[in-house]
Amino acid sequence: MSPDQLQSLLALALGFAVAGVLATGYQCVTERPASFRLISRGPRHRALAALPLVIFAAPFIIMRNTIRARRLVARRFEFVMLATILAGFWSMMSGTVMLMLVEAVEQFFA
C-alpha cells in the first residue's frame, strides 16, 4: 500500500469517525437525531450555526438515512450503493480537512 493510499484510507476513517462523534454528540445533547433539516428550519442565524455540524456530520447522516430507508422502504441496491459512495467521498474530504487541521495545529505548537 502506497503512502498516498494509506493517507486516503486514514482520511476516510477519520471522516467517518468525526461524523459519528458529532452526530451522536448532537443527539445526546438535544435528544433528537441530527439531520439536513437543521439548515432549513428556524431563524437564519440558527441555520448558519448548524451548518458546520451538518457539513462534518453528513456522512453519518447519509448512511443512517440510507440504512433506515433500506429497512423500511426496501430501497434498491443501486440507490444504497450510490449513497454509500457519496458518504464515503464526503467522509474522505472532511477527513482530509481534519488531517490538515491536525497538521496545522502540530506545526503551530512545534
pLDDT in tens, 35-57: 999 888 878 888 898 999 999 99
Question: What's the pLDDT at 47?
Answer: 86
Nearest-CA neighbor of 91 among 18, 1, 2? Answer: 18
Q: Please count the other Cβ atoms lying within 10 Å of the Cβ belonging to residue 72.
A: 8
Per-residue confidence at 21, pLDDT binned at 50, 70, 90?
very high
Question: What's the pLDDT at 43?
Answer: 85
**What DSSP line would sit under 14-76, residue for residue?**
HHHHHHHHHHHHHHHHHSS---GGGGTSS-HHHHHHHHHHHHHHHHHHHHHHHHHHHHHH---
Where exactly are the structural domains of the chain? 3-109
Q: What is the pTM of this model?
A: 0.88
